[in-house]
Amino acid sequence: MSLIDVRCDLQYEVLAPTSFLFNVAALRTPGQAIESETVVLDPNVTYTESAIGDEGNRIFRLTADPGPFRLRYNARARLAEPAGLDGRMDELAHAELPDDVLSYLTPSRYCESDRLGQLAEDEFGAVEPGYQRVAAICDWIGERMEYTPGSTDSRTTACDVLLQRTGVCRDYAHLAITLCRALCIPARYVSAYALNLEPADFHGYFEAYLGANWYPFDPTGMAPLTGLVQIGVGRDAADTSFATIIGSATLESLTVEAIAAEVAAP
């Protein structure tokens, strides 16, 4: 069990009346309880909270007028012990997969799994199915990629990354998701606050569906799996932007932080 304090501070200059969707609040899930949280807006406009997507990503919707706009979010999250690695973590046959994970086999904007079937089969077809196969995918990516901020942008897909061999956390996750789906392993993207991330920022990793659970994997190896506070879950990063901006606004400053408030004894 872990207790983690997270916060973010986003400061914008709004240039025209702008509609925002913020996806920065920590999710409430069976494994992640939010013990306390505060949202401070300046100016103090009204916002609503919506639950979007399969996992109920918590979206703050609001409209801001021209001028400075600032959102500060703080929360304390209590994370359950992650599912033990001694449990059932095999790959289910396609016919056994529950209905609600099937859409995580589908190719998506940044995860063109339909293009990498042969490659995935060649590289991982002979690896023993289950947790160890997804771990092998992560290792394979970690060995081939060089973590290079600025080398990719919001249009970069898993196929691009596979060719150029550089990227950031979201690119690593997209490539891993794509290879999993190509092997018929449901996989989904998660945005998160992450302990120990250097430099501090929002993080991106993925979950694979094994046995009867979604298991977290981070092919960058940059954050401990026990220190991830989930924000958004989706098919890929297109579903989990921390801010969607319709109008005109520039991000002037972004601060993200995750601190262990109390960490379970090993």
Binding site for its own copies (CB under 8 A): 19, 21, 50-53, 59, 61, 63, 93-95, 99, 102-103, 106-109, 111-112, 114-116, 118-119, 122, 144, 146, 154-155, 159, 162-166, 184, 238-239, 246-247
Could you tell me which of 134, 194, 140 has the C-alpha nearest to residue 169?
Answer: 194
CB closer to its own copies, 50 vs 226: 50
**Angle, in degrees to the nearest 10, between helices 117-124 and 131-144:** 100
User: At its nearest, how many Å lie between its own copies and the CB of residue 221?
Assistant: 18
CB closer to its own copies, 52 vs 243: 52
DSSP state of 236: S
261 φ/ψ angles, rounded to the nearest 5 degrees? -85, -30
User: At its nearest, how many Å lie between its own copies and the CB of residue 180?
Assistant: 14
User: At its nearest, how many Å lie between its own copies and the CB of residue 119?
Assistant: 5
CB closer to its own copies, 4 vs 159: 159
Could you tell me which of 203, 210, 217 has the C-alpha nearest to residue 136?
Answer: 217
CB closer to its own copies, 2 vs 23: 23
User: At its nearest, how many Å lie between its own copies and the CB of residue 256?
Assistant: 23
CB closer to its own copies, 87 vs 98: 98
User: At its nearest, how many Å lie between its own copies and the CB of residue 261?
Assistant: 32
Handedness of CA 122, 128, 129, 130 (dihedral sign): negative
Q: Measured between alpha carbons, how far is 71 from 56 in angstroms, rounded to an integer?
A: 21
User: At its nearest, how many Å lie between its own copies and the CB of residue 230?
Assistant: 18
DSSP state of 111: B
Q: How many CB atoms lie within 10 A of CB 165?
A: 13
CB closer to its own copies, 61 vs 78: 61
Residues 2, 172, 259: CA angle, nearest 5 degrees:
25
